[in-house]
Amino acid sequence: MDPYEIEDTSDWLGNPTQFETVKHYASMLEEDVQNLKRQLQSAKENIACLVEMNDQQSAELERKRIWLANLEAETTDQLSQIHSLTRILDQKEVVIRELQALKLVHKSA
């Protein structure tokens, strides 16, 4: 195709100049940048909120762990007392059986 066959539309009415096109594109980029800044600010606020919530949950978890450790220690102490009392009860029953056996021996004699 010869250059004279290519239609030059640069001087037509309504066609933007190169400067106008660049200016419009720059405006669109500025809008995108502002939108991204708003999104970034919103994300930062969300992250700050999530960090605060995480801190609260971590503190609550630590309190619950301490409570559970105390409960476990208390339960272990009570279990130890139960075992001790069970041994004493077993010893008492042995002594009672021995006494009953002695009583039967003395009656028969």
> How far does the chain reach from its first CA to its final CA, in angstroms?
142
What confidence tens digit (pLDDT) does each residue in 81-99 have? 999 999 999 999 999 999 9
- The region that residue 14 occupies, defined by phi over 0 for left and psi between -120 and 50 for alpha, beta otherwise, is left
Domain membership flag for residue 97:
yes
Domain membership flag for residue 62:
yes
What confidence tens digit (pLDDT) does each residue in 55-91 have? 999 999 999 999 999 999 999 999 999 999 999 999 9
pTM, whole model, 2 decimals? 0.55
Domain membership flag for residue 9:
no
Is the distance from CB of 64 to CB of 56 less than 8 angstroms?
Answer: no
Is the distance from CB of 70 to CB of 77 less than 8 angstroms?
Answer: no
Domain membership flag for residue 7:
no
Q: Name the domain count of the chain.
A: 1
Angle at 51 between CA 50 and CA 55, to 5 degrees: 115
- Domain range for 28 is 16-108
Domain membership flag for residue 10:
no
Domain membership flag for residue 2:
no
What confidence tens digit (pLDDT) does each residue in 18-41 have? 899 999 999 999 999 999 999 999
Domain membership flag for residue 96:
yes
pLDDT at site 1 = 61
